[in-house]
Amino acid sequence: MHLRWPTRFAPYVFAAAILWALYRGLLGYFGGRMFKDQPIYALLVAFGLAALITVGVEAWRRVRG
């Protein structure tokens, strides 16, 4: 049995991996430069964004369904 999906989706998986690595690397670089001397602010911003995204997703789920 031969599966076609690995050759079909491999380019997309490869592109997604490259974009994810660039995104995370640049986020770390610029975040490190921005919060160089204030790591507590970086922590607060990270938790604030995580909470905001969580609340937004849950609100969207409730409205939608």
Q: What is the pLDDT of residue 45?
A: 92
Spell out, as residue ranges, where the chain has pLDDT lower than 50. none
For residues 2 and 26, state if they share a domain: yes
Q: What is the pLDDT of residue 52?
A: 97
Q: What is the pLDDT of residue 2?
A: 75
For residues 65 and 52, state if they share a domain: yes
Q: What is the pLDDT of residue 6?
A: 78
For residues 5 and 25, state if they share a domain: yes
For residues 40 and 26, state if they share a domain: no
Domain count, the chain: 2
Domain that holds residue 46: 35-65
Q: What is the pLDDT of residue 1?
A: 65
Measure Cα distances from 15 to 9, 11, 22, 36, 55 in Å: 10, 6, 11, 31, 30
CA distance 10 to 22: 18
